[in-house]
Chain A
Amino acid sequence: MSKIIYLVPLFPLIGFLINGLGRKFLSKPLISIIASGAILASFIVSVLLFINVKNTGSISAAYFDFINFANVVIPFAFQIDQLSSLFLLIITGIGFLIHLYSSAYMHEETSHHYARYFAYLNLFVFSMLLLVMGANYVIMFIGWEGVGLCSYLLIGYWFKNINYTYAAKKAFVMNRIGDLGFLLAVFWLINKLGTVAYVDVFANVSKLSQADITIITTLLFIGAMGKSAQIPLYTWLPDAMAGPTPVSALIHAATMVTAGIYMIARSNILYTMAPQTQAFIAVIGLATALFAASIALKQDDIKKVLAYSTVSQLGYMFLGLGVGAYTGAVFHVMTHAFFKALLFLGAGSVIHAMHHEQDIRKMGGLKKYLPITHITFLLGCLAIAGVPPFSGFFSKDEILTAAYAKNPLLYYFGMAGALMTSFYMFRLYALTFLGKFRGTHEQEHHLHESPLAMTIPLLVLAALSVVGGFIGVPEVFKADSHWLEHFLSPIFAQSAALTESHHLSHSTEYTMIGTSTALILVTIIFAWKKFSNYVPNEGENEGFNKLLANKWYVDELYNSIIVKPIELFSGLLKNVIEKNVIDGAVNGVGKLVVASSRQLRLIQNGQVGSYILIMVVFIIVFLFAWINDLTIVRFFNKLF
């Protein structure tokens, strides 16, 4: 079985090459078939691998030495275990659905750009697969950088719009800040252990001092902050909505942004041994969850709401990692991938129908025009809000329960965030689908349900969002029903051995589930009532609302404390140092040469007498030097 591992990333790579190189020749249907087919093939192999892993345990394959010098050998190797096979399924499965969806969503593009889009998308899937399949941190880093690159390319896909290119640049730079942390962690590992392979690192983790572990885990978490959009490096993700909507669904909701969670779940033993870092992660995760949720309350762009919701949900995942609920975090990654991809694709369907109008204040009443989108979107909202028995309920509940076990305070704040989530999601839902249509007449005339290629992925994802949670039913309902925990237990076994599990009493859990469900339902009804007959009125944003609508002015804050000083400094360098010092030196050399040549040229005056005179003078000089045995003569004697 390990012989077919390489096929998983190979198919997307081939798809990328064909579409990328043949973008001038291929027709649109062919492009979408190649791209989607590549991912489908990958998905099939992934399923085979998953079944194999489930039955016989993890498999690995090494291909060649990627780096081999001194005592460090870093092989180019893949490792398929429970965790990565799960991620493989998510990536290739959702990836395929989104490719399918894109083939219809992007049909307005010219075939050249269409091919470019699918080439990027395939390259992204390839990189993401490398990221999760790598058997060591370096291979993971290759994928890590690859997905960052693809994210940049796809955010700036419509590169003729300058704001989109700025958004792409912002995403890239923010990611780079995090990547530096990741890279430093890898270097630290090589320095301390001489290896970066997961197996070796986790086996030798006891050789590391407490301080080393804390540093490595913190640096890795900084990498995760950038990639998974946590405070303070989250501002790129809302801006990344500049990319096409399917891209937002795939990269900025379902897969790439969960790379940080994957990486920490992968390194769980390190984090379990670094409680300070864990506490740090929990705090950052929770803060991000609340912060992003509060911003999402007042956003009017359909994709921005979903983007902040994504940041917020990623915060929950990090909260889960921080409190040691690794399974819960991975579980939430999975369910989140389902419902957030669904929501984004639904939003894409709405945007498609509205002819690229994204302001929810100008929508409303889309229920009757877009029935399939409406139903699936509603299911997605219920799932993300955490209404039982939808998938989001189970995963979020698992994280929050673990948080309660760690510290009830974390739970209360997490609960507040969950309530905000349900509020803004249903605000979004109500504004979009309920009430009266508030757009222009022409838009209303053109409203139509999306084609089959777009609705099929919606239906599949809706189904997954509804039932996806049942692979992780908590113990409290039925013993040994948490299939996922059982499946992933080999990955987290080392960590589990180090932590004593404190189970909450069943009655506490029931109370918690009951209260949270009741509160969420109340919030949903409140939001539904408040916004279903929404009438836009100008100037409603004042005071605190204004603060939220402007995203807490974080972008402005970063601008003034980081960007402006750097710009000022660069301006100084450009206008003063560059102009006077560097240019002065460079031009000075040139001027000196020109001036001295102008003088030297006078020697070449064509007067035979002066040539002879110069010749005689230098004969005298050389003879004089020779007689007195000057250094230069000795130098030339040695030379010849």
Chain B
Amino acid sequence: MPIQYYIYLALTLFTIGIIGVLTRRNAIIIFMCIELMLNAVNLLLVAFSKMHNGIALVTNKDSMVGIDAQLFVFFIMVVAAAEVSVGLAIIVMMYRNTHSIDVNFLNRLKN
């Protein structure tokens, strides 16, 4: 499958995530859009990994080229999980204090 297809798919997902961040005020939805963007990048990483692996396999049947990209995806998932746990805790606390999950309430931080 041509690599461009994967790129376009990943970019489109990424852009949808950005549009979500830009247009919504609900903190949870924004958070989900960030997850969406992360996943778009993950998909792209795996696609590139397979592309390089495919190129390397032509010369070496047992080539492991591209395996680091997949491990990178794995670590991104790890970090994302940690991030979600902390982020959701923050949102919960914010809701507890303001009874709202509107990100614009956070502009109180500027003072």
Contact = CB atoms under 8 A, between A and B. Distances in A.
Asked whether any CB of A lies within 8 Å of a CB of B in the complex, the reply is yes
Interface of A: 604-609, 612-613, 616
Given A609-B103, A609-B104, A604 B110 contact: yes
Residues of A contacting B: mostly = helix
A608 B22 contact: no
Interface string B85-111: 000000000000000000110111110
B52 interface: no
A607 B110 CA distance: 9
A609 B20 CA distance: 10
A624 to B, nearest CB: 15
Contact of B22 (A605, A606, A609): A609
Contact of A607 (B18, B21, B107): B107
A612 B25 CA distance: 12
A606 B109 contact: yes
Contacts of B104: 607-609
B36 to A, nearest CB: 15
A612 B106 contact: no
B60 to A, nearest CB: 35
B106 A608 contact: yes
Contacts of B110: 604-606
Contact of B18 (A605, A608, A616): A616
A604 B110 CA distance: 9
A613 B22 contact: yes
Nearest to A616: B18
Nearest to B25: A609
Interface in B54-109: 103-104, 106-109
21 contacts: A604-B110, A605-B107, A606-B107, A606-B108, A606-B109, A606-B110, A607-B103, A607-B107, A608-B103, A608-B104, A608-B106, A608-B107, A609-B21, A609-B22, A609-B25, A609-B103, A609-B104, A612-B21, A612-B22, A613-B22, A616-B22
A606 B104 CA distance: 8
Interface string B11-50: 0000000100110010000000000000000000000000
Given A605-B107, A606-B108, A609-B104, 5 more contacts: A605-B110, A607-B103, A608-B104, A608-B106, A609-B25
Contacts of A616: 18, 22
Nearest to B108: A606
A609 B18 CA distance: 11
A604 B107 CA distance: 10
Contacts of B18: 616
- The interface centre, meaning the residue of A608, A613, A616 with most chain B CB atoms within 10 A of its CB, is A608
Nearest to B104: A607
B41 to A, nearest CB: 15
Contacts of A609: 21-22, 25, 103-104
Contacts of A613: 22
A609 B109 CA distance: 14
A613 B22 CA distance: 6
B10 to A, nearest CB: 16
Contacts of B108: 606
Contacts of B103: 607-609
A618 to B, nearest CB: 13
B98 to A, nearest CB: 14
Contacts of A606: 106-110
Contacts of A604: 110
A616 B37 CA distance: 14
Contacts of A607: 103-104, 107
**Cβ-closest 8 pairs across A and B:** A606-B107, A606-B110, A608-B103, A607-B104, A607-B107, A612-B21, A613-B22, A608-B106
A609 B21 CA distance: 7
A604 B111 CA distance: 11
A327 B35 CA distance: 106
A608 B30 CA distance: 11
Contacts of A605: 107, 110
A358 to B, nearest CB: 75
B15 to A, nearest CB: 10
A623 to B, nearest CB: 12
A608 B18 CA distance: 13
Nearest to B19: A616
Contacts of A612: 21-22
Nearest to A619: B18
* From A604, A605, A606, A612, residue with most partner B Cβ within 10 Å: A606
Nearest to A606: B107
A608 B33 CA distance: 15
A616 B22 CA distance: 9
Determine which residue in A604, A605, A609, A613 has the highest number of CB atoms from chain B within 10 A of its CB, and name it: A609
B35 to A, nearest CB: 16
